[in-house]
Structure 1
C-alpha cells in the first residue's frame, strides 16, 4: 500500500515537472518570436534605440525607447495611432508624464511632473474632450491655474495665480461670462534660460515679436498662452542638440459657450505677421555641439503627437467675436527662424 502511494506521488511529480518544462519552452518560444518580430531603429547620434512591433503599413503594437540603456518612453499603437497609456521619463529616469489614449484620442487621466517630482498638471479627457477638474501647479507644488470642464466646455470660475502660486492675477466667471480679476499673467521673456525636463539640461528661449489680439482668445491672452505652451511642450532627446525647424498651424474652433476643439497641421507657408503665434524657438548648445540629423519618420510622428498634446493640455478659451482662431506654432531648435 505504501509503495503504491509513493509511486503515485512520484508519477504526479513527474507530470508536474514535464508541464513546467513545456511551459518554459512555450514562453521561451514566445519571447524569441516577440524579440525577432520587433523592429529596432538605432539613433546612434543620441545613443537611443526605438523598438516597435510593426512599422508598416501602420505603426502597431508596443513601443519602447531607450537612451543610454535607460527607458525613456513606453506606449503602444493601434492602427497607426497612439493607444493606451504612454509614459515618458527624463534621461536619468525621472517620471515626467503619463498620458492616456484610446484609438488616437486623449482619454482618461493626464499627469505631468516637474523634475523634482512635483505635479505640473493633473487633468482628464473623456473620448478626446476635456472633462472634470484641471489643476496646474508651480514647481513648489502650489496651485498655479485651476478650473473645471464639462466635455470641452469650461464652467464656473477659472483662476490663474502668479508663477509662485500666491497672488491671484486672473479670475474669469464662465457662468456669467465676465472677468472678476484681470491683470497681466505673462511670465516668460526673450532670452529666458529654462530647463528641459526630457534632457534635464538648460536652453535659451528666443521670443520673436508676438501678436496681441482682442476678441476671442485664450484665458489670460495670447502672450500668456504662448508662455503656457512653452511650459507644456517637450524637447525629446532625439531632437536635443540637433538642428530642426517645423511650423504648425493650430486651428481652434470656439463655441459661444467657450467650448473649444483643436486641429493641427504641418505647414511650409509663410506665417502672417498679424496672426497670433505660440513660438518655441530655442538654443540648446553652441554650434560645435550641434548635430545635423535627418530625423526618422517615427521620430517625426512622435514629435507631432507631442505638439498636439501641448496644445491640448492648455487652459480654456473665452469667446468674444469669432468661432475660429488660427495660431501658428514655430517649433525651432538651434536655428534662426525666418518667417
Structure 2
C-alpha cells in the first residue's frame, strides 16, 4: 500500500511540474506559468516533426525563428526584435528552393527584397526604406528576362 501511495504521489508531482513548465502564448506574449518566458521554445506537428523553433526574450519574439513544413523541411527563417519584424526573412518552397528574401526594420519593410518562382528564377527585385517604396524596382519573366523597371 505504501508503494502505491508513493507511486501516485510521485506521478502527481511529475504531472504538476510538467504543467508548470508549459509555455503558452496569450495575445502575442509568451508565458511560463505567470511569468514572461525567456529562452528557446519549440512546437511540433502531431507526427512529432518540428513545426517551429522560436527565441523568446521577456515574453516577446526576439531573434531567429525557424518554421518547418510538416515533413520536417525548412519553410521560413524569420527575425524579430521585441515582437516586431526586424532583420532578414527567407522563405523556401516544399522542394527546398528559396522563393523570397525580405528585410524588415522595427516592423517596417526596409532594404532589398527578392522574389523567385518555384524553380529558382528571379521574378522581382524591390527596395524599401522604412515601409516606403524606393529605388529601382525590377520585374523579370519566368525565364529571368528583365521585362520592366520602375523607379520610386
Give TM-score scaled by structure 2 length. 0.70
| 4+ aligned runs moved over 6 Å, structure 1 | none
Q: In the alignment, is the contact (CA less than 8 A) between 1:54 and 1:61 conserved in 2? A: no
* Higher RCO (CA-CA < 8 Å; seq separation 6+): 1
Offset of residue 167 of structure 1: 5.3
Which one of the candidate residues 36, 39, 46 is aligned to 2:22? 39
Equivalence map 1:39-188=2 (5 Å): 39=22, 54=32, 56=34, 58=36, 60-67=38-45, 68-162=47-141, 164-166=142-144, 168=146, 170-174=148-152
Q: Given the two structures, how large is their TM-score scaled by the length of structure 1?
A: 0.34
* Distance across 2 between alignment mates of 1:65 and 1:165: 38
Deviation at 1:148, TM superposition (A): 1.7
Structure 1 spans left out of the alignment, 5+ residues: 1-34, 42-51, 175-339
Greater fraction of residues in strand: 2
Does the 8 Å contact 1:53/1:63 carry over to 2? no
**Partner of 1:171: helix, strand, or coil?**
strand
The Cα shift of 1:38 comes to: 2.4
Native 8 Å contact 2:23 2:33 kept in 1: no
Partner Cα separation in structure 2 for residue 40 and residue 54 of structure 1: 5
Partners of 1:154 and 1:121 in 2: how far apart? Answer: 17
CA distance 1:55–1:153, change in 2 (3 Å)? farther
Asked if the contact 1:99/1:111 (under 8 Å) is kept, the reply is yes
Describe the shift of the 1:165–1:156 C-alpha distance in structure 2 as closer, same or farther (beyond 3 A): farther
CA distance in 2, matches of 1:83, 1:165: 38
Tell me how far 1:168 sits from its aligned partner: 4.8
Aligned partners of 1:166, 1:157: CA distance in 2, in Å? Answer: 17
Whole-Å separation in 1 of the counterparts to 2:33 and 2:52: 17
How large is the RMSD of aligned CA atoms in angstroms? 2.8
Kindly indicate whether the alpha-carbon contact (under 8 Å) linking 1:132 and 1:150 is maintained by their aligned counterparts in 2. Answer: yes
Q: C-alpha separation between the residues in 2 aligned to 1:123 and 1:79?
A: 26
Could you say if the C-alpha distance between residues 147 and 140 of structure 1 is closer, same or farther in structure 2, counting changes exceeding 3 Å? same
Q: Secondary structure at the match of 1:92?
A: coil
Structure-1 separation of matches of 2:91 and 2:23: 28
Q: Tell me which protein shows more helix as a share of its residues.
A: 1
**How far 1:58 moved relative to its partner?**
4.7
Name the CA distance, whole Å, in 2 between partners of 1:40 and 1:75: 12
